[in-house]
Structure 1
Amino acid sequence: MKIGVLGAGISGLSIARLLSKQYDVELLEREAIHGGIARTRDAQGISYHVTGGHCFNTKYPDVLDFVFKEILPEHQWHKIQRRATIKFDNTEVTYPIEYAVKQINEFDNDLAIAITKDFLASEDDNNYRNLEDWFRKKFGNTLADLYFIPYNTKIWNCKPADMCVDWVEGKLPIPDKKSFFKGLVSNENDNMPHSTFYYPNTNNQNTFIDNLAKGLKITTNYNIKSIVKNTTGQWIVNDDKRYDLIISTLPLNVLPSLIHGTNEEILNEAGKLKYNKVTTMLWETTGTQNTWTYIPEADNFFHRYIHIGNFFRPAANYSITEVVGEKTYDEMLQNGKKDPFLIRPVDYHVSDHAYVVFDENYTASTSAIKNYLNNLGIYTLGRFGEWQYYNMDVCIKSSIDLAATIEKEYSFALAM
């Protein structure tokens, strides 16, 4: 069986690696190189994540086994303790903010009391009208108003009141009242998967990505313009590639328009899906011990610093500033000049698709499109193919699960 995988990012590479053990698999990639948004580029000798900051850890044992046993052995990675802070009220407190009330109390006793009263008095009935409602019921009004709502407005370029809550599970540390109280009287901290993470010893994520791609059949610089299913059930891409099965990691808002015969209803649903681009700038800095800094303040359009130099061994004084949307080089430079921590710009980039937006149309539109593609027999995969806020490890996990599904379905069919 010949399988076409559309897109050679982490998801496409992972599924191709898994299925190529048994099938003839070819990846079609629009760019000149594989890796997708996880790929870095060299900027004056620094491995620069142009779209976000990608690192590796996971709660899934099968993902750890796949990465460490089949792709890049564990001894070729170093482990890093996350040290994240939040710029808050002209100072920095540790992330997550709900565990930093003792620190807030040191410079604003009244605020610390208000946060504590609100959090302990919040009533969570597990019924949420929107993301803003979720924040208020989980954390109380004070933290919602001062941090969660303004920060999430920045990172989604959308008001939380206009968003659903489908993305939050596993993305935010969510303390209950008991753990929140422990944070007041002890050193309670979060235990999310990325509280520690791995980074290649080469100080370049491309080491992992290139190992993942090793031995795979990848056609690069290939722009997909049409996908047609012929009378024999084969898929024809651009009139020259033929496959028995297609797995798409292409953005869910784009794929339907490429498929011959897609009806107007599905095209309309695809048009409702929203996503954000991001603009990043790599800087030489004065140095920090942190790995991330989050910025909720409205007068600074950066929403976070990714201290990429602290992913390296030995560490180096380099950080990435990130903003949702498109900003010019000069806009990024001028905003960065507000912070003496940022010394010199090194590189700059504006992405295409970076983050999907979970707005009021999300659930209905994605369900309609996925049902349509499923009925056609096209599998979708990955952050943009599934239109989910997936980290790298979840992309790999989704690939492992889909590979198992395909192998089971087609081995059963062959046995009939």
Structure 2
Amino acid sequence: MELFQAKDEYILQSGDRALWCSRRDGAMTVRPATDLLLAWNPVCLGLVEGVIGKIQLHTDLPLGLVLIRQKALVGQLPGNHKVYKITKIAVIPLSDEEPQELELELCKKHHFGIDKPDKLAQSPDESKFLMKTFSQIKSNVAVPIKKKVKENKEKERLERRLLDELYKIFMDSDSFYYSMTYDLTNSVQRQGDSEKTGLPLWKQVDDRFFWNKHMIQDLINLQADFWVIPIIQGFVQVEELVVNYNETSDEERSSPETPPQEITCVDDIHPRFTVALISRRSRHRAGMRYKRRGVDTDGHVANYVETEQLIHVHSHTLSFVQTRGSVPVFWSQAGYRYNPRPRLEKGEKETMSYFAAHFEQQLNLYKKQVIINLVDQGGREKIIGDAYLKQVLLYNNSNLTYVSFDFHEHCRGMKFENVQILTDAISDIITDMKWFLCCFIFLCVINLLI
């Protein structure tokens, strides 16, 4: 995908499609690629992978066009759907200012070892006008120029600081993923149950995990299907492995009583499995550790994540889903010291309706659920665990099973093998959960302090 800079627009071109973005007001229009001939002195800046959207970091700063500069292939999900991680982005100010060095991959079609001109050529009329008026305005700006320079420097520092933070979010976290052909926001089960099959990808997504929805709203309004890339935040790993469940020991193979193996297809002897882990972080109530806790008035809990484990072999895909999130009561941890003391912000009665709203959402989506509460049962976290249990009892829903496991107490000293105590205790429940392929009817919900 090529990026062009023209006098009044930035233009993205892919095949016979083009997306024009105004440098004056950020307005976006979809046009045929041949319209590039109508742009004023377009210069190819290089190649990009796609559009994340637009953002205004501060009211004093211009809109910025955020683009995927580089991507990395994570793997292929069943159906040959490629999944990519965003590794680098580019932010282009939508203004008359020249963009800073973008370090884009050069386009072989338009770059022949010639650097891009530092400044786009002006029309003859503009040049004459500037020369004529320069002498008139020179004396008028002498007084306020120092003040203006100071303001500009402060503005530049602010812009640089905010841009650095934006780059860190996308490039240092290694947590933004997308696919051009697969809906990463929905589990296999939701995809199978959806009535939206066949629609453009962005129209099928689960709104909770569509992280760049607001940034790309203009393209959604234009129904510009080709240009809208739904991006998730979280984690994706895809691996292939071979399992030989017919393997015999050396003694059995050397025994004269062992019959010779028949010649069989390699995939029958050593079936190839695709194993994938997809974690989707909700865009609702996301935030920093200690600074974002509990539930909000819409029933969203802080740092909510849905994790799906996929196993694919031959033509079969199995899916198992868990969710995690902050304890769904109103609580906080004030201060910046390590592990500040939790405190409740609202009482039982005030919390009940919002707690109910959260689990109504969960039950509508996932049906029966097992709550595994991992907060400390003693010490400073006890107040949160007790409030959680009280709300579960008040809610009194037969579709909820509540299990408490003091994670820090049992696994103290890095003894994480003690989680086996929990898994043994709930083994019957896990068996009943089943996989999606086996009529998936349960979900495991985990609440913990991290």
TM-score range relative to shorter protein = under 0.3
Larger helix proportion of the pair: 1
Larger strand proportion of the pair: 2
Between Structure 1 and Structure 2, whose CA radius of gyration is higher?
2
RCO comparison, higher one (Cα < 8 Å, 6+): 1
Give the TM-score normalised by structure 2. 0.19
